[in-house]
Structure 1
Amino acid sequence: MNADEENAAVEKVVERLEDRFPEVDPDVVEQVVEEEHHNLDGNPIRDFVPVLVEHEARDRIRSEFANASDGTLYVPPGLEP
């Protein structure tokens, strides 16, 4: 997978997670995916990066943003849209 293919696949991750978590601001979803993508910088094997990014970003969004008991969303400092 070359860099262009990887970036296109990561953009698809953003789209899927925005659809899965419509209650989370799309800018926050994009930022979480971007952070998780950068966490894998320097990894020599890139074929599975989009899958790993989606898994980690989905788990973060689910735990940090989409499970507020009072129906509101918690957005940690620095991730405000």
Structure 2
Amino acid sequence: MIDRLSKHFPDANRDHITETVRDGYSSLAGRRIRAYVPNLVEHGVRTRLRREARIARSSP
């Protein structure tokens, strides 16, 4: 997942992506349905990285 996200967001720091993925997993820890956790985490991280990229582009 981290490799895919790093390729999709080449300007994002890999350590930041890794930490964001960890945060995503932590937020879903203890949930009853675990089969979709990786998909949910990846979707959430993509959304967050897109938002951060937009903010970075709009900053002077």
Same fold (TM over 0.5): yes
- Please state whether the residue corresponding to 2:57 is helix, strand or coil: coil
Return the alpha-carbon distance in structure 2 between the equivalents of residues 70 and 49 of structure 1.
32
Q: CA RMSD in A?
A: 1.6
* Aligned residue runs from structure 1 range 48-63, under 5 A: 48-63=36-51
Structure 1 runs of 4+ with >2 Å offset:
69-72
Q: How much identity, in percent, do the aligned residues show? A: 37
Q: Structure 2 regions of 5+ residues with no counterpart? A: none
- Please state whether the residue corresponding to 1:69 is helix, strand or coil: helix
TM-score (norm 1): 0.66
Aligned equivalent of 1:31: 19
Q: 2:5 aligns with which of 2, 5, 17?
A: 17
Question: Higher helix proportion, which one?
Answer: 2
Task: Give the C-alpha shift of residue 69 in structure 1.
Answer: 2.4
TM-score (norm 2): 0.87
Q: How many residues align?
A: 59
Larger Rg, first or second structure (1 or 2):
1
